[in-house]
Structure 1
Amino acid sequence: MTITEPKPQATLPTTPGDTTPHTPSRWGPKLWAVLFVAGLAMFLDALDVSMVGVALPSIGAELGLETASLQWIVNGYILGYGGLLLLGGRMADLLGRRQVFLSALVVFGVASLVGGLVDNEALLIASRIVKGVAAAFTAPAALSIITTTFKEGHDRNKALSIFTVFGATGYASGLIASGLLTSVDWRLTFFAPVVVVAAVLVAAFFVVPKNAEREKGHIDFLGSATLTGGMLAAVYTIVTVPETGFTPLVTATTAAAAVLLAAFFVIENKVAHPLVRLSIFKVKSIVRANLAALAIFGSYISFQTIVSLYLQNTLQWEPIQMAMALAPAGIIVAILSPIAGKFIDRYGTKSMIIASMAAFVLGYLWFILRGGSAQPNYLTDYLPAFLLLGLGFAIGFSSVMVQATEGISDDEQGLASGLVQTSGQIGGAVVLAVVTGLISGGAATSIAQYRPGLYLVTAVAVIGLLASATALLGRRAAEADTVVEAA
């Protein structure tokens, strides 16, 4: 199937191959049930990320972990997630979305249970990696279930907007629940997702339909292995160099990262059924969507880690105080996400993504300029920043997902879904690794130690804004050419 970059539309988008815009369809109970179950997977992922983020200082205090070690609790999950998302999406296309979804949920629940039981740093990080691997299969399966169930255009935009609400609800719920549970024992933050997994499993078994057709092909395990190995080696190098310099081990991992990632691209060009069909990157809108995902998650995951450490370790806030401070961001997403689809229909994904990235940049700048006071006023120094970040997510996440999957045939929706989520997770892993190196030295007695990390977070968001802005510049240039030709 030939994919062309979607053009700006004055009417509702159309499905591939359709020449007339379709009108919104009426959703029956079955469609709502499928959306609800797929959304619960998004809820679960967001719940887990926000709960662990709040619990990090308590985990470090009990297990005696430094900042460099704590970031691996986050990055272990991200790397397992980001490294295997493409394989997860591809397996959903080939083996069936329902089968992959259910199996991965079981692994996610078991890994979460194990993480709450162990006392060893290595085992805890290992459980997080396994958990991330499981999420790498549930997430693209859930997203491709939505994109193949709902028609491209108004219905899919609306479904993805509601899908975002589940993520926002999970994030906000995770913050509040983690604040309460961590006050008792941080291990409860690992046990709580197990209950959610059990509920999702039961519902998914009865609701999620089997693939009507499966794409014929083979799974590119070699491509997946080289991508995951290359990313692990690259992030290990980034984390370790600031502390140790280029030791023989770090030099070896640097070389391994370069060789494995180069091998990945060679393999994808040679194999008959690649993990990533590289020609997909010829579509500029899809490339921009993936860059936006990288900037959004790369900046925000690192920002949340900085804020969690600063508020709890430096300002001595209780976990519940920190959780409630961040909660408005999730609430904003939950309120605005249901109507994001209408704005996408009206203004298009390009304008929405630009507005989203601008909100992130302004939020980070506000925190840098106002958040370093020794006795900050929450309403004036912190809340505006968190509200701006919530606004960025509310209008940006759905827009990125729509742009990353529109114009793609059903048999490659798993690939497109996995690709954009991989970009987000890889961005989160790499930026967090660099930020950790920038902020991990010395005792955190003021905001000064965290400023280099905050500057990097802001720079990543600015790069995302500039990359997104090229879309509108290109469109205006094309419109000007059209006017000249007409004249």
Structure 2
Amino acid sequence: MTFSTHTRTTTPSDGRLSPALWGLLFVLAGNMLIDALEVSVALVALPDIGTDLGLAPTQLQWVISGFAAGFGSLLLFGGRVVAILGRRPVYLTALLVFAAASLAGALAEGPELLIATRFVKGFCAALTAPTGLAIIVSAFPEGPARSRAISVYSLFGAGGFATGLLVSGFLTEIGWRWTFAFPAPVALLLFLAALRLVPADAAGRARPRRYDVAGALTLAAACLFLVLAISCGPRAGWDDPRTLGGFALAAVFALAHVRVERTSPEPLLGLDLLRHGPLVRSALGAATLNGSYLSLLLLSTLQLQQRAGLSPLQTGLAFLPASAPLVLSALFSGRMAARFGTARLIAAGAAAAPLGYLLYPGDASTQLRYATDVLPTMLLLGAAFVLAFAAFHIQATAAVPAHRQAEASGLYQTAVQLGAALAVALTAAVYACAGHRPALWLVIAIGLAGLLVALPGLRRTHRPSAPSSSTT
């Protein structure tokens, strides 16, 4: 049996998936995997990229923050594009653009093209990541089959970061450009399979009428100018007109975005969602956890490779204790939330992260011993993500009515990505200005801010009905 744009498959009543549905699932899950590993494959390669292209840390951080900014600032717009043009054509186009951007990034001879491709790939992820889950919901019948498909999809997403560490560690030993090139053939293979397997949207589906391009552009511009101003400060000076102008333009575009969304007949985001306390706490908490985590890994990558002499592969392996536990626990996150409550899990995770940062050595000149200086921090970070990250998403969507949960999920994911972009940019700026120890204290402060955001949730413990699975 084949699955095409004109046929619909069936599945046995016991939830077993037909071969065609398994094929569709692995196309979607495979794409989710390469989306999820985009940050980690770049992270381990940063020192080699900086050496080869002559980039300072404030420029180098764009490799991480550029992808996160493209993903986060255009995620809501990506959902609107998919809703208007349809899942199949947008998904297929995004796969092709992702492959082209991967190849262009691998061939980049300067920072401008490399950073531009990272932003473009972030936008592609903003189109495909949420669309993949929507295709699963529409193509797989409700019940055991859909639950199984979502579990596999979630597992691939959770495993992406850890996979990226290993792949990048291995490929960077050969050359950092391979870490950016290898997703291209993978995306092309997924595209060829998706041509046959991804179904067209059902006829008669209600579609929005407006793209809200102004809302998308103002949000993206506000984010990019803010990161640009932060990265300019250490090099040009914080009182330099370029730095001040960047901050001013970021503020202007942010205000313009709020005005556009308030007046648009079909805004990308209904601002009334910000009145839901659990949703806002989840978004801010996940943003601080993700942002502080990636910032710590940025500092650790530079320290382990440039000062401790670890190879890229050894660095990737060193980070695994922080990411592998999430893979192992991904299928059980819903049960954990149902048993212990999201507020308790979030508070415990939000406490584990800054404790791990406090244990990390603040003196970059000392000789690191992995077992005593690095491993405890990585284990605590792994615990933080196991406890809190899925609980954040469950709490965020459970806080709003069912018909607005997709919108709430988009807001949550936007906060997660933009938190990463801004935290990494700030950490790189402090590192360039003042060195390792002050940058580490900034990471600790971001982690503690996440704990402060989480604590009010304990006043009113909420145990939502956990979904079959959850992704972040």
* TM superposition score normalised by structure 2: 0.86
Q: Which whole-Å CA distance do the structure 2 matches of 1:154 and 1:390 have between them?
A: 30
Q: Which whole-Å CA distance do the structure 2 matches of 1:159 and 1:290 have between them?
A: 26
Quick check: 1:296–1:461 contact (8 Å CA) kept in 2?
yes
Pair 1:465 & 2:451 matched: yes
Which segment drifts farther, 339-348 or 219-228? 339-348
Quick check: 2:361–2:373 contact (8 Å CA) kept in 1?
no
Q: Which whole-Å CA distance do the structure 2 matches of 1:408 and 1:102 have between them?
A: 32
Counterpart for residue 29 of structure 1: 17
Of 431, 436, 444, 1:450 maps to 436
Structure 2 counterpart of 1:75, one-letter code: S
Counterpart for residue 326 of structure 1: 319
Q: What does 1:331-480 align with in structure 2 at a 5 Å threshold?
A: 331-368=324-361, 374-406=366-398, 414-441=406-433, 449-475=435-461
Of 49, 63, 83, 1:59 maps to 49
Counterpart for residue 58 of structure 2: 68
Counterpart for residue 115 of structure 1: 105
Pair 1:245 & 2:231 matched: no
How far off its partner does 1:184 sit?
1.1
SS at match of 1:454: helix
Q: Which whole-Å CA distance do the structure 2 matches of 1:66 and 1:295 have between them?
A: 25
Quick check: 1:160–1:402 contact (8 Å CA) kept in 2?
no
Q: Which whole-Å CA distance do the structure 2 matches of 1:208 and 1:410 have between them?
A: 26
Which segment drifts farther, 297-306 or 371-380? 371-380
Counterpart for residue 277 of structure 1: 270
Counterpart for residue 141 of structure 1: 131
Q: Which whole-Å CA distance do the structure 1 matches of 2:444 and 2:143 have between them?
A: 33
Pair 1:310 & 2:310 matched: no
Counterpart for residue 234 of structure 1: 226
Q: Which whole-Å CA distance do the structure 2 matches of 1:63 and 1:377 have between them?
A: 30
Quick check: 1:54–1:178 contact (8 Å CA) kept in 2?
yes
How far off its partner does 1:475 sit?
4.2
Q: Which whole-Å CA distance do the structure 1 matches of 2:285 and 2:135 have between them?
A: 23
Of 87, 90, 106, 2:77 maps to 87
Of 60, 78, 84, 2:68 maps to 78
Quick check: 1:144–1:417 contact (8 Å CA) kept in 2?
no
Which segment drifts farther, 398-407 or 430-439? 398-407
- 1:398–1:94 Cα change, 3 Å: farther
Q: Which whole-Å CA distance do the structure 2 matches of 1:104 and 1:116 have between them?
A: 18
Q: What does 1:43-54 align with in structure 2 at a 5 Å threshold?
A: 43-54=33-44
SS at match of 1:136: helix
Q: Which whole-Å CA distance do the structure 2 matches of 1:394 and 1:154 have between them?
A: 24
Q: Which whole-Å CA distance do the structure 1 matches of 2:389 and 2:147 have between them?
A: 11
Quick check: 1:161–1:341 contact (8 Å CA) kept in 2?
no
SS at match of 2:239: coil
Q: Which whole-Å CA distance do the structure 2 matches of 1:409 and 1:159 have between them?
A: 24
Of 163, 181, 192, 2:171 maps to 181
Q: Which whole-Å CA distance do the structure 2 matches of 1:470 and 1:27 have between them?
A: 41
Q: What does 1:115-264 align with in structure 2 at a 5 Å threshold?
A: 115-145=105-135, 162-212=152-202, 213-243=205-235, 244-264=237-257
- 1:41–1:432 Cα change, 3 Å: same
Q: Which whole-Å CA distance do the structure 1 matches of 2:145 and 2:275 have between them?
A: 26
Quick check: 2:288–2:446 contact (8 Å CA) kept in 1?
yes
Q: Which whole-Å CA distance do the structure 1 matches of 2:375 and 2:91 have between them?
A: 37
Which segment drifts farther, 34-43 or 464-473? 34-43
Quick check: 1:154–1:341 contact (8 Å CA) kept in 2?
no
Q: Which whole-Å CA distance do the structure 1 matches of 2:61 and 2:322 have between them?
A: 22
Counterpart for residue 479 of structure 1: none
Of 295, 300, 309, 2:293 maps to 300
Q: Which whole-Å CA distance do the structure 1 matches of 2:396 and 2:15 have between them?
A: 24
How far off its partner does 1:52 sit?
0.7
Q: Which whole-Å CA distance do the structure 1 matches of 2:354 and 2:361 have between them?
A: 11
Which segment drifts farther, 387-396 or 276-285? 387-396
Quick check: 1:51–1:174 contact (8 Å CA) kept in 2?
yes
Which segment drifts farther, 388-397 or 210-219? 210-219
Structure 2 counterpart of 1:176, one-letter code: L
Percent identity, aligned pairs only, is 39
How far off its partner does 1:279 sit?
1.3
Q: Which whole-Å CA distance do the structure 1 matches of 2:399 and 2:137 have between them?
A: 11
Q: Which whole-Å CA distance do the structure 2 matches of 1:157 and 1:289 have between them?
A: 24
Q: Which whole-Å CA distance do the structure 2 matches of 1:136 and 1:216 have between them?
A: 18
- 1:90–1:372 Cα change, 3 Å: same
Number of residues of Structure 1 aligned to a counterpart in Structure 2: 445
- 1:432–1:450 Cα change, 3 Å: same
Summarize deviations over 1:37-83 as a string: whole Å, max 9, x none: 44333311222211111111111111111111111122222222222
How far off its partner does 1:124 sit?
1.5
**CA RMSD across the alignment:** 2.8
Q: Which whole-Å CA distance do the structure 2 matches of 1:285 and 1:135 have between them?
A: 26
